[in-house]
Amino acid sequence: MSVDIKKIGVVGAGQMGGGIAQVCAVAGYDVYLIDQTDEAVSKGLEALSANMDRDVARGRLDEEARNAAAGRIATGTAYDGFKDCQLVIEAASEDEEVKKAILKELCAVLPEDALISTNTSSISITRLAAQTDRPGKVCGMHFMNPVPRMELVELIRGIATEEETYATVRSLADSLGKKAVNAEDFPAFIVNRILLPMINEAIYTLYEGVGSVNAIDTAMKLGTHHPMGPLELADFIGLDTCLAIMHVLHDGLADTKYRPCPLLVKYVEAGWLGRKTGRGFYDYSGDEPVPTR
């Protein structure tokens, strides 16, 4: 039986979860957005509101639609608010154990016909779905960052995902104004299978002294017309996320070409995770980002 989606739950009020909540609310769905603490929820809601205000200022959204969307978003820290959701999208950090724990908590409160999606950018949907009481109703739904601006959503079936689940999630993606592509359940799917090794190679290029941060990013922006250089993009994604995805590729495909660059490991160990911590391959403490190497 097809699920009629009216209310969507989102776990994680960070950059990805907040963006997913925003596009769902703008598309007319009621949304329940949670995070671990009131502070994290407030911070996420603040960023979401600022993004919608920016969209109004740039003419992408009118004031009335913005206010209506804001009114559709409820927030909290408790899972109880998911009990009347037809779909919940997990958008927590890219850590398999964290995601598995969230999925188990979700199953305890969700109606038995409710669907679960995960915004994982690299982890096996089959493995995550196996932690639930409804593997047939689990489907990967990997949004790109920033969610409101990027058109693509990768849809990934696990081995047990039912056709009806996939069709419902695909229909949802269409209703959000996104273009969906199907990706098979292999480590990192399509986009990150290609993108992260490129970023990792750029970090090796820096590590081996082939070019400076500025030279590498300028070369890729001007030489290939990429809007951001790979090191700037790594900072934007978060170096901890980049490293997590490289570990998934390296562990899952057992190929040395996916070995994370030691310099990436060192930056993560130092807590230099990119824009979110104010320092990565660039220092963001001043008016303009300054290369750290």
Residues acting as catalytic residues: 121, 142, 154, 192
Nearest to 265 by CA among 292, 242, 288, 286: 242
- In 138-293, alpha helices (H): 163-175, 191-207, 213-224, 230-237, 239-253, 262-269
Structure tokens belonging to residue 111: 């109606």
Q: In terms of residues, how long is the chain?
A: 293
Rounded Cα distance, 4 and 47, in Å: 29
Task: Please report, as a single letter, which amino acid is at residue 77.
Answer: T
| Number of Cα atoms under 13 Å in the Cβ half of residue 149 | 8
Structure tokens belonging to residue 256: 């040395």
Calculated CA dihedral for residues 289, 290, 291, 293, nearest 10 degrees: -150
Distances from the Cα of 9 to the Cα of 65, 119, 134, 146, 151, angstroms: 20, 13, 17, 19, 21
Q: Where are the beta strands (DSSP E) in the chain?
A: 7-11, 30-34, 73-76, 87-90, 115-118, 138-143, 152-157, 179-183, 282-283, 290-291
